[in-house]
């Protein structure tokens, strides 16, 4: 009897593994059947994804996502979500991808999967141009700002002694609000993704400066639900194709003036 029971359990286990594999391999077919990819984003995150003067969602990641969807034979819909709840929006099926300057972290990887990395990034410290600040030690007693739920917060928290020296770590719903408060002097520094921060600074010459110190280097990837193997493989394939044929470089030059995609 014991032998038959063990055999029965092995059969159940095999069925579970096979079913899981089938479901994973159906992920691309499900997207194609639906006919569109729903991309979740913070729509106030220039130059990755933001609204132009006409209210249209534009940006570097927007152009990449549109081209990737076209090559996959589907439409793309951009759905603004609260950034501190973006992982939950992906996991519960409200969106299919997070494509919005999403930093690959171990903590996030416990909940979601990622595409291959496509951009390198740093967590920079922005202050007013005339501020008497040089390094992280100078943030002692200062009000430091970051976006709620962002990798900037994770980077700061990874240096607890520095964080403990702040007068306050003030969290904002988006980086635009944080940088506006820096400009008006309501906060002393903003920790933000370099790609976003430098784009913002370029629009306001002479107002801000970037300290030489930073809170670490990282990479961007597209967020995907776990176990969506075939969808992830196809996304990685078209992204690599875009790099190889020069389309990715064209999009990068449009937004950054040079090709900054990881090869």
In this predicted structure, what is the pLDDT of residue 258? 87
193 and 74, same structural domain?
no
* Cβ 154 vs Cβ 105: under 8 Å: yes
User: Does a structural domain hold residue 198?
Assistant: yes
204 and 133, same structural domain?
yes
User: Does a structural domain hold residue 161?
Assistant: yes
User: Does a structural domain hold residue 6?
Assistant: no
225 and 213, same structural domain?
no
Strand order in the sheet with 223-224: 75-80, 36-41, 97-98, 223-224, 113-114
243 and 114, same structural domain?
yes
Contacts for 233 with CB less than 8 Å, ≥ 6 apart: 28
Q: pLDDT exceeding 90 applies to what percent of the chain?
A: 83
User: Does a structural domain hold residue 69?
Assistant: yes
In this predicted structure, what is the pLDDT of residue 11? 54
* Cβ 247 vs Cβ 163: under 8 Å: no
Q: Which helix (H) or strand (E) holds 126?
A: strand 119-128
Contacts for 171 with CB less than 8 Å, ≥ 6 apart: 145, 146, 147, 148, 153
113 and 93, same structural domain?
yes
Q: How many domains does the chain have?
A: 2
202 and 129, same structural domain?
yes
pLDDT tens for each residue of 25-68: 588 999 999 999 999 999 999 999 999 999 999 999 999 999 99
69 and 153, same structural domain?
no
Q: Which residue has the higher pLDDT, 11 or 54?
A: 54
In 3-state terms, what secondary structure has residue 192? Answer: strand
For residue 69 the two structure tokens come to 């969807």
Domain containing residue 133: CATH number: 3.40.190.10
38 and 110, same structural domain?
yes
User: Does a structural domain hold residue 196?
Assistant: yes
User: Does a structural domain hold residue 149?
Assistant: yes
User: Does a structural domain hold residue 127?
Assistant: yes
Would the pTM count as exceeding 0.85? no
Task: Report how far residue 154's alpha carbon sits from residue 107's, in angstroms, rounded to the nearest whole number.
Answer: 9
pLDDT tens for each residue of 172-224: 999 999 999 999 999 999 999 999 898 888 888 899 999 999 999 999 999 99
In this predicted structure, what is the pLDDT of residue 15? 52
User: Does a structural domain hold residue 103?
Assistant: yes
In this predicted structure, what is the pLDDT of residue 21? 45
238 and 114, same structural domain?
yes
For residue 245 the two structure tokens come to 């044929």
158 and 147, same structural domain?
yes
Q: What is the mean pLDDT of the chain?
A: 91
At residue 14, does pLDDT exceed 70? no
- Would you give the DSSP letter of residue 74? -
At residue 23, does pLDDT exceed 70? no
In this predicted structure, what is the pLDDT of residue 36? 96
Question: Phi/psi of residue 47, each to 5°?
Answer: -95, 15
158 and 127, same structural domain?
yes
In 3-state terms, what secondary structure has residue 249? Answer: helix
130 and 105, same structural domain?
no
Task: Report how far residue 78's alpha carbon sits from residue 128's, in angstroms, rounded to the nearest whole number.
Answer: 34
**Domain encompassing residue 132:** 122-218
């Amino acid at each position: 009897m014991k032998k038959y029971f063990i055999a029965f359990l092995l059969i159940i286990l095999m069925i579970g593994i096979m079913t899981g594999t089938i479901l994973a391999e159906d992920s691309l077919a499900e997207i194609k059947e639906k006919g569109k990819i729903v991309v979740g984003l913070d729509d106030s995150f220039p130059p990755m994804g933001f609204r132009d003067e006409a209210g249209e969602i534009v940006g570097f990641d927007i152009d990449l996502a549109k081209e990737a969807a076209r090559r996959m034979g589907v439409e793309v819909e951009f759905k603004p979500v609260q950034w501190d709840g973006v992982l939950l929006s992906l996991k519960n099926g409200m969106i299919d991808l997070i494509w919005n300057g999403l930093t690959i972290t171990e903590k996030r990887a416990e909940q979601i999967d990622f595409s291959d990395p496509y951009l390198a990034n740093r967590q920079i410290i922005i202050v007013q141009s005339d501020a008497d600040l040089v390094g992280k030690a100078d943030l002692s007693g200062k009000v430091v700002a970051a976006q709620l739920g962002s990798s900037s917060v994770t980077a700061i928290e990874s240096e607890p002694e520095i964080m403990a020296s702040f007068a306050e770590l003030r969290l904002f719903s988006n980086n635009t609000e944080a940088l506006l408060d820096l400009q008006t002097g309501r906060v002393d520094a903003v920790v933000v993704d370099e790609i976003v921060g430098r784009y913002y600074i370029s629009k306001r010459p002479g107002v801000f400066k970037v300290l030489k110190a930073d809170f670490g280097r990282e990479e961007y990837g597209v967020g995907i639900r776990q176990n969506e193997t075939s969808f992830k493989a196809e996304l990685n394939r078209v992204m690599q194709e875009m790099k190889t044929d020069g389309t990715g470089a064209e999009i990068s030059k449009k937004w950054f003036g040079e090709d900054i995609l990881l090869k």
